[in-house]
Amino acid sequence: MAFGNLVVTLIIGFVVGVGLAYWWFDKQISNQKKSIEENNRQQREEQDKLYLIRTQQTIQESEQKYQNQLQQAIETSENQYQAQLEQMSVQLQEKDTQVQQLNQSLFESETQVAQLTEQLQESEAEVIKLNDFLIQYQTMLEEVNSELEASQAQVSQFSTNQAVESEIQPESPILASPTIEEIVEESPVLASPTVEEIITLPTTNIQTENITLPPTKTSSEEELIQQISAIGSSGNFGSTNILTGYLQHSNPQVRYAVASTLGKLTASGRLSREVQQSIPLLTRLSQDIDPSVRQEAIIALGKIPSHQVIPILQKALRDPQISVAQSASIALNKFKVYRVQPKSQPKSLMLRKPNISSNPK
């Protein structure tokens, strides 16, 4: 029994020892496990810290690299932009130079056009002078031809009378009838009159009446217009100076009446001294602000046979009012109907009375 108890005691002691050993090993394992977990936790924390540090370093390096690239891109863009600006500046300077050259060429062309226009006006003035001379020469030639025809008729009549007398009185002395060639002989060449002499031909003396107009400030502008129109109807050039005071009247109808009156006074077609004095007045009216006044002045200038009005009419061709430009064109066409012929010294024919010589049979 004692042995059995001892065995049981040993078994119990073994079991207890095994339990204690298991407990101790379990505790050791638990401690090691905790230690390992702590080490793992510390390692994970260290790895996390290292990862964060590396990540921050990578981010910083990336940011630095990006900043460098951005700075380089900015510098490159600025350099390219600056180069483009310089290139555009050079191109603008070249274009400015070209524009200045074109402006200079245009100015020279306008100067040449102005010179050519002036030469053309001078040539047209010479043409007008030649036309005036041609008209006067043709008139003189027609008069001489008329006198020659009359003389030839007288010679023919005289020859007929002589033939009748010779038949009636055969024994009477025969009168030798001169021929046309003997009657008409060529006289010395006369100098052709110049344009100035033609223009200053004697003009008819106009009996001027003293027509007085009231002051500029009239009680009725309609009465003033009627009085101005009365001057044109009367043909009185003596009142032209009075019309000068109304060239700048505030009422355009009054200025129109002045232009119309001057047109009536110059409608004779003769270039007298009084007509020439009206050209400056009509020139001022041709520059009036009212289109109807300008048109009436241009129409009046077109009636004056003088080369002085041609530049004024040519200027009126550029008038913004179409009616004024058309009136100027119509007036200029009147100056183009004459054909210009070269000057020649005309031969004037002098008629002499027939020489009647008595020759007996």
Show Cβ contacts of residue 289 under 8 Å, excluding neighbours closer than 6 positions: 252
pLDDT of residue 267: 79
Please give the single-letter amino acid code of residue 136.
Q
Please give the single-letter amino acid code of residue 116.
L
Mean pLDDT by 10 residues, the chain (361 residues): 78 86 88 89 90 92 92 92 92 91 90 90 87 80 75 68 50 38 35 34 35 46 86 73 84 92 81 83 93 94 88 92 92 67 42 45 41
Q: Determine if residue 313 is left, alpha or beta; phi over 0 gives left, psi from -120 to 50 gives alpha, anything else beta.
A: alpha
Separation of alpha carbons 98 and 216, rounded Å: 57
pLDDT of residue 156: 66
Show Cβ contacts of residue 297 under 8 Å, excluding neighbours closer than 6 positions: 259, 262, 263, 282, 283, 285, 286, 288
Residue 242 DSSP SS3: helix
pTM above 0.95, yes or no: no
Backbone angles phi, psi at 349, to 5 degrees: -100, 130
Strand extents, DSSP E, 271-352: 349-351
User: pLDDT tens digit string along 189-212?
Assistant: 333 333 333 333 333 333 333 334
Separation of alpha carbons 90 and 84, rounded Å: 10
pLDDT of residue 320: 92
Please give the single-letter amino acid code of residue 289.
I
pLDDT of residue 208: 35
Residue-wise burial string across 245-265, b where 16 or more C-beta atoms lie within 10 A, e elsewhere? ebbebeeebbbbbbbbbbbbb
Q: What is the chain's alpha carbon radius of gyration, rounded to the nearest angstrom?
A: 62
User: pLDDT tens digit string along 275-302?
Assistant: 888 899 999 999 999 999 999 999 999 9
Show Cβ contacts of residue 265 under 8 Å, excluding neighbours closer than 6 positions: 231, 232, 235, 237, 240, 274, 275, 278
Please give the single-letter amino acid code of residue 86.
E
- In Å, how far from its chain's centre is CA 165? 81
Separation of alpha carbons 249 and 245, rounded Å: 8
- In Å, how far from its chain's centre is CA 327? 19
For the chain, the residue count is: 361
Separation of alpha carbons 185 and 189, rounded Å: 12
Domains, the chain, in order of start with CATH, read: 221-334 (1.25.10.10)
Among 111, 179, 103, 105, residue whose Cα is nearest residue 352: 179
Separation of alpha carbons 79 and 211, rounded Å: 88
Separation of alpha carbons 277 and 128, rounded Å: 19
User: How would you class 116 by CB atoms within 10 Å of its CB: exposed for 0-12, middle for 13-18, buried for 19 or more?
Assistant: exposed
pLDDT of residue 275: 82
Q: Is the dihedral of CA 259, 312, 247, 220 positive or negative?
A: positive
